[in-house]
Amino acid sequence: MPGCFDVARGSGLWVSGPARVAVERGSVYASGYTLEADGEALVRGTRGFTFYAIEDSRLCVHAGAGATARLVREGFETVEAWNRLVEELASRGFRRLVVAGPPDSGKSTLTAWLRNRLELCVVEADVGQNELGLPGMVAYAPWSGRALVLQDLEPAGAFFVGHVSAEKAGPLLVSAAARAARACSGGLVADTDGFIQGRGAFQKAAVAEAVGAEAAVVLGSGPGAEQLSRLLAGRGLEVFRAPSPGLLRERSRVDRRSFRQRLYAALFARGRSLVLDTRLVGNLCPYQEAAGQIVYTCGSLAVVESQRRAGPGAWVRPGWARGLLAGLSLRSGVDEPALVEQLSPQRGRLVVRVPEASRALREEVLGVTLGWVRLGEGFREEEHLEPGFYPEATAKTRRR
């Protein structure tokens, strides 16, 4: 079990939670702020956090189940570089920032630093690894006091994108980021995903412009980061470069899906059902009943819904919408996440599961967008679909 550790100046203590870290002596860098003697911080997540000693210090780790801690020597130079960066941003009066870089380069960590030091609203525009707990959405959290990591923040609202791949749903991501920035209504820092190659660089430029960024911080090195920096500078942004932390662990695709699965479970495991009218669904193709079947007209494509395939054309079985993520547009101006339980065109009935704490009531819902991620048993992602109108999106995916 973790206990007390003497941490020399310039060294760090990496802690994986759940754990409470208390400073008995000295002072350490937390997330852009300083913890001094008698100060403490709560490490909730298993991803871990490193506290770096500004002077010789003693830290005691009061650990929960599964928590670990170890001394580390690398990384202090990065912390000092980040401190210098924040001081320069503050001295030059930059209050609207975007953080970009390749995958696993420390974007969310630096976003938390900037938020804490400059007292900014956070726009979480990483739909795949959403640190505010809402996969497939762009969320925002106004300044509410210091937080160790972004996961400790409570989002004030979110806007539905419908996919966990920025590459697949770029236009919706950009528009959602713009809406979140308007909701922040002041200084902000936008956290972004790691899609920066090719079209991804232009998408980051679009996000930066959508949130009204005055400056961009690009993390990491390599051709992708260099190219992105040049593009952003060419679009008129002041660009700052920052080093990546040395202790970052590269997350696999399985790690990322597991992270989202935990978030889905937190949202929907104890949810409640909400019955809506199918006419609210904005991306449902027009349909009519004919000879015991439902025929959807999706542009030039006719999609037949029936128990058995009746011909060579596009075909889906009843229940094709079950498990799809969905976004509910509310009168309050924000969106709520939902999970489709049933869509019955014959009855004009859409049943969705919403989080237990959801503010969504039937009369508050102005519209529905069906997303392009399908969840299965245990809230695991079963299918990623191409964005489009339904049921064409699922019919096309299954024909490939």
What's the fold here for domain 4-72?
A: Jelly Rolls (2.60.120)
Confidence of residue 295 (pLDDT cuts 50, 70, 90): very high
Check whether 46 has a pLDDT greater than 80.
Answer: no
Contact between 188 and 96 under an 8 Å Cβ cutoff? The reply is: yes
Q: Which residue has the higher pLDDT, 266 or 250?
A: 266
Q: Where are the domains of the chain?
A: 4-72, 76-250, 256-399
What's the fold here for domain 76-250?
A: Rossmann fold (3.40.50)
Among 121, 205, 136, 129, which Cα is nearest to 173's?
Answer: 136
What is the C-alpha separation between 123 and 102, in angstroms, rounded?
18
What is the C-alpha separation between 173 and 207, in angstroms, rounded?
8
B/e letters for 288-327, b = 16+ CB within 10 Å, e = fewer, are: eeeeeebbbebeeebbbbeeeeeeeebbbeeebbebbbbb
pLDDT in tens, 79-122: 999 999 999 999 999 999 999 999 989 999 999 999 999 999 99
From residue 46, alpha-carbon distances to 30, 70, 326, 386, 396 in Å are 17, 14, 29, 32, 39
pLDDT in tens, 316-371: 999 999 999 999 999 999 999 999 999 999 999 999 999 998 988 999 999 999 99
What is the C-alpha separation between 31 and 43, in angstroms, rounded?
12
- Count CB neighbours of 396 within 10 A: 16
Report which DSSP code applies to 55: S
Contact between 53 and 10 under an 8 Å Cβ cutoff? The reply is: yes
What is the C-alpha separation between 60 and 49, in angstroms, rounded?
14
Give the per-residue pLDDT at 399: 44
